Structure 1
Amino acid sequence: MKRTTFYLISGFILFAVLSRLLPHAYNFTPLGAIALFGMAYFKDKKWALIIPLAALWASDLFLNNMRYAEYYEGFAWFSSGALFIYGSFAMIAVLGYYLLRKVSFGRVLGGALGASTIFFVISNFGVWLSSPMYPLTLEGLAMCYTAAVPFFHYTLAGDLIYSGVLFGGFEYITRRYPTLSPVFQDS
């Protein structure tokens, strides 16, 4: 992969992650979109995980320390639900690895829908396990998922919109400037 293409893909991911710093509705984030985007376009799949995860972690570091500074002394390296959030991110990346070997509108749409669903299921399972609000029973799990439903449409909207912006923007630029295309002739 050309260095300029690598930087362009990384720049798109950084742009999306920086949007988390703007005011937004709960769960309206680029999380799923950047996991899918990285897997679709980085030839070396280690970068498809490293770059988005590092960008996500850096924004989490900033957001969590800004948000909880008044409650905690010291520096928080991870939020309480980080295992489940980053676990869902890894599962979304796996989905992107298999689904987006060829980028098309239908595959990106399916990936965004799948990303939202994966994040909903895994992150709310983590809330159920770690929150004293819900009993650790099937009824408690159902209560947790039911309470999370009103936030799902924000997750879905975020994944759809950010996927559209990332994939659409990248496709537009690489068609306008074909030398930036990540087409892999040596694969």
Structure 2
Amino acid sequence: MSESKFNPRTIILLLIIIFVSIIRVAAPFSGDFKVIANFSAVGAIALFGGAYFNNNIKAFAFPLLILLLSDLFIAKTSGFGFFYGGWYWTYIAFILMVFVSKVMMNKVTVLSFITTSVAAVLVHWIISDISAMYIPGLYAPTLAGYWTCLVAAIPFELKFLYGTFAYGAIMFGAFEMLKAKYPNLSLTHSRVA
């Protein structure tokens, strides 16, 4: 009977996610919160979870849990409400972003990271902006209203893309450097992550 060795892969992945999440949670304390609100780490967290967690429960649950906890904290500390009309469309968008990452990032490279980031942010843009249709008086609940919403959201989605690139570079870069130094963190050595 072979002896099972402890593999810290899941713990390292979670520590990287938690570290980046702290930055997101600290954002409302910035004097320029509205300016930096969409320069967020949550897109990178969704991609990171999809790329590195082999277990689907962990891949989807950890990024969604971080999104939920940070949304609740931000709502509590900033005065912005959490349960706004159509809020669940944002969560559906993040589920799809994790899925996009699982499908597109079979091997983590700079090119796969960039293309997956762009694809995931496009999914976020198209799906999460449906929620604006549920806020009375914001946009007409028509196809033309949805199109107007999508166009108005472009500056916010660009900030979201830049945040996904920046935080993703930190997260993916840190884990890839750790994998290079400690090969037992790779999936070939671990079936538990």
Query: Deviation at 1:130?
Result: 3.0
Identity over aligned residues, as a percent? 29
Stretches of structure 2 that go unaligned for 5 or more consecutive residues are none
Kindly tell me: are residues 11 and 123 of structure 1, through their superposed partners in 2, closer, same or farther at Cα, counting changes over 3 Å?
same
Question: What's the counterpart of residue 14 of structure 1?
Answer: 18
Aligned-partner Cα distance in 2 for 1:133–1:82: 14
Question: What's the counterpart of residue 72 of structure 1?
Answer: none
Deviations 1:13-61 (A, max 9, x none): 1112211123351311112211111111112121111111112211111
Deviations 1:52-87 (A, max 9, x none): 111221111111111227xxxxxx7x4314301111
Question: What secondary structure, in the 3-state scheme, does the structure 1 residue paired with 2:153 have?
Answer: helix
Q: Which amino acid aligns with 2:169?
A: G
Query: Deviation at 1:3?
Result: 4.2
Q: Which amino acid aligns with 1:19?
A: I
Checking the alignment, whether the CA contact within 8 Å between 1:30 and 1:159 is kept in structure 2 is yes
State the Cα RMSD in Å: 2.2
2:172 to 167, 172, 182: 167
Question: What's the counterpart of residue 61 of structure 2?
Answer: 50
Q: What's the TM-score once normalised by structure 2's chain length?
A: 0.84
Aligned-partner Cα distance in 2 for 1:137–1:39: 33
Aligned-partner Cα distance in 1 for 2:6–2:61: 18
Question: What's the counterpart of residue 141 of structure 2?
Answer: 136
Aligned-partner Cα distance in 2 for 1:29–1:146: 20
Aligned-partner Cα distance in 2 for 1:131–1:114: 30
Checking the alignment, whether the CA contact within 8 Å between 1:64 and 1:79 is kept in structure 2 is no
1:27 to 35, 38, 60: 38
Query: Deviation at 1:2?
Result: 5.0
Checking the alignment, whether the CA contact within 8 Å between 2:130 and 2:146 is kept in structure 1 is yes
Checking the alignment, whether the CA contact within 8 Å between 2:7 and 2:184 is kept in structure 1 is no
Stretches of structure 1 that go unaligned for 5 or more consecutive residues are 70-75
Question: What's the counterpart of residue 100 of structure 1?
Answer: 105
Query: Deviation at 1:185?
Result: 6.8
Checking the alignment, whether the CA contact within 8 Å between 1:115 and 1:159 is kept in structure 2 is no
Structure 1 stretches of 4+ moved >6 Å: none
Q: Which amino acid aligns with 1:152?
A: E
Question: What secondary structure, in the 3-state scheme, does the structure 2 residue paired with 1:43 have?
Answer: coil
Aligned-partner Cα distance in 2 for 1:42–1:106: 20
